[in-house]
Each structure stands twice: as structure tokens, then as C-alpha cells.
Amino acid sequence: MIIGLDDTDSKEGMCTTYLAAVLIEKLKAFGKIEGYPLLVRLNPNIIYKTRGNAALAIPIELNRSGEAGTVRKIVIDLVEEMAEFSAENTNPGVVFIENATGDMKKDLARFSMRAVQDVLEISEAEELLSRYGINHMGFKNKRGLIGALAAAGFALTGLPDHTFELIAYREKKRWGTPRAIDEDSVWEAAAQADTWDTVDYENRRIVFAPHSPDPILFGIRGKSVSAVRRAFSFVKSEPVERHIVYMTNQNTDMHLMKAKISDVLDCRSYILEGNVSKSPKTIEGGHVIFEIGDGAAAIECAAFEPTKSFRGIIRQLRPGDQVTVYGSVKDGTLNLEKIRIRSLDFHEMRNPLCCGKRMKSVGRGQGYRCEKCGATAKEQVDETIKRNISTGFYEVPPSARRHLSKPLVRFL
């Protein structure tokens, strides 16, 4: 059986991963988890999300198939007990995949991928659930069925790329209070191989613990189960109530689609190629905006203030530079997660030099004149300029990284 869960939390508390962790404990008596529970991040641009648009799937091999009904009841009872039903935007969904056919696998693989890259309707999830007779339970407006089915779909068909996250949870009596974590131990944990985003070295910040009132104490992300477990063994903190290792699509760039600028839609995420067509400018709030074009269409790209020193790279771009940008599109602007500068333009048309100074334009289309000696010139000259950046890949710092974004360490 694969149990899919989503949308049980609100900004004021809870977290669907915690519900899954409690459930895993309860289900031990009924069977064995097959592989790892899945923590799936869906489209990061969905307006209904509470925080990181997470959905969960628990694949379990039941000891006795006759107990499937009991297991389904335990799951639904726990959701009813723990979900934040009073929050307007909390619409829990639970699905149970028990028998999967080839057609169902094909349809679910497509649905799950679209839940990460596209915007779905609740009716699309309901249609698949009824077509394949999948047991499920949707609460309130049933929106959670989208995420629950998508997560279960990935557990059934497999993730094309994955990483791991070990999440440690807090004792209930401490929820909502400041987290007690020994900072030095976190820096030691962060130094362990094949883990990332525990700290932000450049901004000297610990980034593996949230500040919200939810049950999560911290999360350690990494390449393998052994890597995250090893880093975990270094962390000294308040008591950990329980911890779970999830297999996840975090840090895989699964949300990004290669596209042409003219095909871009809002609320989706892309990899786009183009030339810088308008110089970067810093706007109020410290955000840096520039434009790229590919001859057919153009799009504004933004490095927002929280991306800190990444903006320094972006400010160095000039029209003519060839780039590949990675990020989500919102209100027609691509919110940069990474950039690959493919080539830099070292040429600039400038007014000719004379008597140690630049000539002045006489008027539109009328050439240039030296203010000192009166010499004239018809055209600007092509000069080679110095650039303060190099070609290559640049990314936002860990403190500004989205869950799905693949860090450059994973490209090596």
C-alpha cells in the first residue's frame, strides 16, 4: 500500500511531515516501510501553499492484506485528529494506492510531474482517483488530494532524481518557543561530506532550522542516508522527539522546464536561454532587475534582495552577454535561482578619444567633435572593455535557496 498525504498544516502550526512521522510510528505494527518515506516538493508557485508545498507518501508492505481497512482507518483518524481544520487554507487529502496497473502507472507518472511543474485542478485528481478506483478521503474543498495523489504517484513510479533529508522534530511542549541548538555543533555537522545547506558560509548563518512555530527542529540535506545520518550525529540540541530520513525531490531542479521565452507562463519554472537586452538596475528594496531576449521575445529577470551577494554578479551583466537563467515566473518576471553566463561581451561602442577626453556628440546622426581642438569624427569606435566577472555558473546563497533548486555542488 502507498499512502499519500497533503495539506494538513497551517502557518500557525503543524506540518504534514510531522503527521507522516507520527503515522510511520503507528503503522509499524502493521507492516514494514518499503525503502523510504517520500517528501515531495510540488510546484513552488502555487498560491495555496502554506510554506514549501510539501506532500508525503509512505510505501508500506502490509503484514496481512486483510488489515488494509484498519490501516486506512488509522490514517484517516490521525488526519482528523492532527490536521489544522480550522485554517481556511487547510484542505487535507489522503489517498491509498493498493493495486496498480500499467495504465495507472503511466497516468500517475504524468500527473505527479505536472504537480511539480504545472498548475492542476482538484477535478483532475478526482477524475484519476475515480478512473482507477483509488481509495481516498478529501476534506473541506479537497485540494489536498492533488498533492496526496502526486506524492503517492512518485512513490509508485519512482523519482527521476532524488536526495535525502533527515528531519528532527521537537517535543510538543517546546513548539512555538525558540529552538535550543548548539551553534558550534551545527558548523561541525555542516562540514561533513555530501551534505549541503546546513549553514550559509558566506552570510555566516545557520539555515537548517526554521523559525516558525511548527514541530520541526531542523533538517539535514544530503546525497545519501549515511551522509545525513553522519552529520546528524554531530548536532547538539534540545531533545529530539523523533527523527525520520525522507527520500525527496528537493535540490533536483525537477520544477524547471527548458523553454523558449515566448512560451513562458506565469506560476511555472524554467531554464531559458537569451542575451542580456537591458542592463541590470537596482530598484527600491535592493532588488536587481534586467532583461534577456532571444530575438523573438524578451523577459525581465530579478535577483531579489534576499539573494544578497548573488546580486553583485547580476549587476555586472551587460547587454550582449549570453546567459541561461533558471527560476520561477511570477507576474511576468523570472525570479532567479541560478544563472549560467555563457559568454561575455567585451565590446562597447564609445565616442572617440581626442586630446585625452571623449568627443561630444554634435547631434543625432551628425557625428562627434573634440571640445578642445575642434577635430571631428563621423562614428563611434568599437572598444574592448574590462569585465569584472567571468563566464560560469552562479547560484543564490543557501539562505535564499528554494527547496527544489539544485545546488551547484550537485552538478559536480
Q: Does 252 bind ligand ATP (CB under 6 A)?
A: no
Q: Does 46 bind ligand ATP (CB under 6 A)?
A: yes
Dist. CA 118–CA 267, nearest whole Å: 8
Dist. CA 288–CA 307, nearest whole Å: 10
In terms of CB distance, is 43 or 328 closer to ligand ATP? Answer: 43
| Given 30, 33, 52, 194, the residue binding ligand ATP (CB under 6 A) | 52
In terms of CB distance, is 52 or 293 closer to ligand ATP? Answer: 52
Least Å from the CB of residue 37 to ligand ATP: 14
| Given 3, 20, 21, 54, the residue binding ligand ATP (CB under 6 A) | 54
Least Å from the CB of residue 91 to ligand ATP: 5
In terms of CB distance, is 53 or 351 closer to ligand ATP? Answer: 53
| Given 1, 4, 43, 216, the residue binding ligand ATP (CB under 6 A) | 43
| Given 1, 15, 78, 199, the residue binding ligand ATP (CB under 6 A) | 15
The 3-state secondary structure of the chain, one letter per residue: CEEEEECCCECCECCHHHHHHHHHHHHHHHEEECCCCEEEECCCCCCCCCCCCEEEEEEEEECCHHHHHHHHHHHHHHHHHHCCCCCCCCCCEEEEECCCCHHHHHHHHHHHHHHHHCCCCHHHHHHHHHHCCCEEEECCCCCHHHHHHHHHHHHHHCCCCCEEEEEEEECHHHCCCCCCECHHHHHHHHCCCCEECCEECCCCEECCCCCCCCCEEEEEEECCHHHHHHHHCCCCECCEEEEEEEEECCCCCCCEEECCHHHCCCCCEEEEEEEEEEEEEECCCCCEEEEEECCCCEEEEEECHHHCCHHHHHHCCCCCCEEEEEEEEECCEEEEEEEEEEECCCEEEECCEECCEECEECCCCCCEECCCCCCEECCCEEEECCCCCCCEEEECCHHHCCCCCCCHHHHC
Judged by CB under 6 A, the stretch of 46-54, 96-104, 297-305, 358-366 that binds ligand ATP is 46-54
Q: Does 165 bind ligand ATP (CB under 6 A)?
A: no
Judged by CB under 6 A, the stretch of 41-49, 273-281, 313-321, 335-343 that binds ligand ATP is 41-49
Judged by CB under 6 A, the stretch of 100-108, 143-151, 231-239, 381-389 that binds ligand ATP is 143-151
Dist. CA 123–CA 166, nearest whole Å: 34
Q: Does 140 bind ligand ATP (CB under 6 A)?
A: no
Burial class of residue 270 in the structure, from the number of CB atoms within 10 Å of its CB (0-12 exposed, 13-18 middle, 19+ buried): buried
Q: Does 9 bind ligand ATP (CB under 6 A)?
A: yes
Q: Which residues of 171-195 are buried (b: 16+ CB within 10 A; e: fewer)?
A: eeeebeeeeebeeeebebbbebebb
Q: Does 91 bind ligand ATP (CB under 6 A)?
A: yes
Judged by CB under 6 A, the stretch of 142-150, 162-170, 297-305, 310-318 that binds ligand ATP is 142-150
| Given 50, 195, 248, 333, the residue binding ligand ATP (CB under 6 A) | 50
- Count of beta carbons in the 10 Å neighbourhood of residue 201: 11
Least Å from the CB of residue 120 to ligand ATP: 4
Q: Does 44 bind ligand ATP (CB under 6 A)?
A: no
Least Å from the CB of residue 352 to ligand ATP: 56
Residues 105-124 that bind ligand ATP (CB under 6 A): 115, 118-120
Q: Does 143 bind ligand ATP (CB under 6 A)?
A: yes
Q: Does 4 bind ligand ATP (CB under 6 A)?
A: no
| Given 3, 5, 6, 154, the residue binding ligand ATP (CB under 6 A) | 6
Site string for ligand ATP, 340-359 (x = CB under 6 A): --------------------
| Given 21, 146, 254, 354, the residue binding ligand ATP (CB under 6 A) | 146
Q: Does 1 bind ligand ATP (CB under 6 A)?
A: no
Residues that bind ligand ATP (CB under 6 A): 6-7, 9, 15-16, 42-43, 46, 48-54, 91, 115, 118-120, 143-144, 146-147
